[in-house]
Structures are given as C-alpha cells and as structure tokens.
C-alpha cells in the first residue's frame, strides 16, 4: 500500500521511497558572511543547485519575490539535502559589499576585490538584474573566451563562490 501511495503523491518520474514532512520555520536560520541573493530566478532546478552550491562554500541564500519555491519538488531534489543546512536570509538583510554578476560590461570577476561580508547578486537568465538593484553595487562579469553569450545562473553563482574561496 505504501509504495502505491508514494507514487500517487509524487510529482517525480519515479516515486520516492521516503517522505519527509516539515514546517518552513524548521529550516535553517542565521547569518553567514557570504550570501547568494537571487533575483527572480524562477527555475526550481537552478534554485536548488544554487542552494547546494551555497552549502558547499558555506554561504547563505536570499530569494527575492518571484523566485522559485526552494521547497518545491524539483528545487528540493536539486539541492541534494542542502535545503536543510543553508540558511535562507531575508532579502533586505544581506550583508556588506554587494557584487552584481552581469553578463556584459562589468569588471572581470578575477580582478575585483572581494571582501567579506559579501553578497553576490544573481538575476534571472531572461531578465538579468534591474538597474535599480545594481546602482550601488560593484558590477562583475565572468569572461567567456568561447562563443556562448552567457552562463547559466547556477554556473555563474558557483564560479563566483569558487573565486571567493580560491583567494
């Protein structure tokens, strides 16, 4: 009976063997000196992947309104459990220096001084970041020697956190 019930309740192609029930208030809270602030990132796979990346580098995540739900099935799956370790911080309480990752026209990320506390702002792949958000930020670009016009937002966030950790 239980496998059939799990299959019926699941939105995944293969039913899970385990189900967890928890409240949003039970998720990690607290502050970290590095935050990935996501502006209107609507793809749940990207939100979950960025949660997992933040977990790997000891960062927190902040979600603007209109971001994908980090508790949705696809985001939860992509986070690979990071959802239960990474603090979600309020949009207005992100720390310190702000670096807006932009596809074009910013200082190469490797040339930018990165000092903690630090918030990396990442925008949706379709719209990017609005000018109103980046006016008081350092603008950084990840140089692309190949022919691609831009990176996936999750790849850009991973590169930014790696660059900070590398230093």
Alpha-carbon distance of 77 to 115, in angstroms, equals 32
Alpha-carbon distance of 38 to 93, in angstroms, equals 13
Order of all β-strands in the sheet with 34-39: 88-89, 60-63, 34-39, 118-123, 97-101, 138-141, 107-108
pTM: 0.90
pLDDT tens-place values along the chain, 167 residues long:
577 777 777 766 676 667 677 777 778 888 999 999 999 999 999 999 999 999 999 999 999 999 999 988 899 989 999 999 999 999 988 989 999 999 999 999 999 999 999 999 999 988 999 999 999 999 999 999 999 999 999 999 999 999 999 99
Could you tell me the CA-to-CA distances from 72 to 30, 42, 95 in Å, in that order? 22, 12, 27
Domains in the chain with CATH codes: 25-166 (3.40.1280.10)
């Amino acid at each position: 009976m239980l496998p059939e019930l799990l299959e019926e309740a699941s939105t995944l192609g293969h039913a899970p063997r385990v189900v967890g029930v928890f409240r949003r208030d039970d998720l990690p809270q607290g502050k970290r000196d590095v935050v990935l602030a996501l502006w209107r990132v609507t793809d749940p796979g990207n939100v979950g992947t960025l949660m997992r990346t933040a977990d790997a580098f000891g960062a927190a995540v902040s979600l603007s309104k209109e971001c994908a739900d980090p508790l949705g099935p696809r985001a939860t799956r992509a986070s690979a459990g990071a959802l239960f370790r990474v603090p979600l911080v309020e949009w207005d309480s992100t720390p310190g220096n702000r670096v807006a990752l932009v596809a074009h026209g910013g200082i190469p990320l490797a040339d930018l001084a990165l000092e903690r506390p630090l918030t990396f702002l990442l925008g949706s792949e379709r719209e990017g970041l609005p000018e109103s958000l980046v006016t008081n930020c350092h603008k950084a670009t990840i140089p692309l020697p190949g022919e691609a016009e831009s990176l996936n937002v999750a790849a850009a966030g991973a590169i930014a956190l790696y660059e900070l950790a590398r230093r």
